[in-house]
Amino acid sequence: MKDVNILVVDDEENIRILFKEELEDEGYKVDLAENGFEAIEKVKMNKYDLVILDIKMPGIDGITTLTEIKTIKKDLPVILCSAYTEYKQDLTSWISEDYVVKSADTTELKQKIKQILGT
């Protein structure tokens, strides 16, 4: 099977580690970025199949980062991930592909990834 590359963007190190390990268990290749700038750089440099993006981050926030990523690579799918539930209603139909509420239970996140990648 062809490698699937996912970029996880979150300012909290342990969240990054958690997501990385959880997703690696599912057989994905996971790269990490700890803020919006790094994420944008990495998207420019590398080829990802999907980005998982935290919304509330210091520096540039998730929404700005999302807009940047989408200008660089219009078709790169992005899943927004945050503790807030409100973006769920406000932005789902906006420019990100999907939205998940950040949770210790990663089942929903994994399902969404599968859905978007069609795997």
Is 51 or 57 the residue whose CB approaches another protein more closely?
57
How many residues appear in the chain? Answer: 119
Check if the beta carbon of residue 62 is closer than 8 Å to that of residue 55.
yes
Is 47 or 74 the residue whose CB approaches another protein more closely?
74
Tell the smallest beta-carbon distance from residue 83 to another protein (Å).
3
CA distance to 3, 73, 74, 89, 96, per residue, from 100 (Å): 23, 21, 21, 11, 11
Residue that the structure tokens 């958690």 belong to: 18
Tell the smallest beta-carbon distance from residue 61 to another protein (Å).
13
Structure tokens at 75: 């078709």
Is 46 or 84 the residue whose CB approaches another protein more closely?
84
The binding site for another protein (CB under 8 A) comprises 12, 14-15, 18, 21-22, 25, 56, 83-86, 89-90, 93-94, 101-106
Is 12 or 41 the residue whose CB approaches another protein more closely?
12
Tell the smallest beta-carbon distance from residue 91 to another protein (Å).
10
Q: Dihedral of CA 87/100/102/62: which sign?
A: negative
